[in-house]
Structure 1
């Protein structure tokens, strides 16, 4: 499946069905993230139920600590 993630075309396995699966694929499921799916901000509670389709536009923002 081809997704547009953070401004880049990315090929991901077709077995990724939901936004939650996508976050798990990238190792971000335990991180604090903001996800925009096709120009809509998703609540964390919607990650499991939001289905991915070829060509979806995803923006993922996660916070990095530092000092």
Structure 2
């Protein structure tokens, strides 16, 4: 399956059909990222229900802690 992830083409195995599976396969911890799926920000509780298809687009932003 071909996806655009953060502006780059990525190939993933075809068996990954749900957004939560894709996020994990890309090496991200679900509690530490925000995901935009085809232009919509989805909360993690919706990831298991969201079907991912060839050609979809993801923007994944990692949450970084810090401060003084």
Q: What displacement does 1:64 show?
A: 3.3
Q: How many residues align?
A: 67
TM-score w.r.t. structure 1 length?
Answer: 0.87
The answer to which structure has the higher helix fraction is 2
C-alpha RMSD of the superposition: 1.5
Q: What displacement does 1:28 show?
A: 1.5
CA contact (8 A) 2:34 2:63 kept: no
CA contact (8 A) 1:31 1:62 kept: no
Q: What displacement does 1:30 show?
A: 4.3
TM-score w.r.t. structure 2 length?
Answer: 0.86
Counterpart of 2:2 in structure 1 is: 2
List, as ranges, runs of 4+ consecutive aligned residues in structure 1 with deviation greater than 3 Å: 64-67
Unaligned runs of 5+ in 1: none
5 Å-filtered alignment, 1:1-67, equals: 1-65=1-65
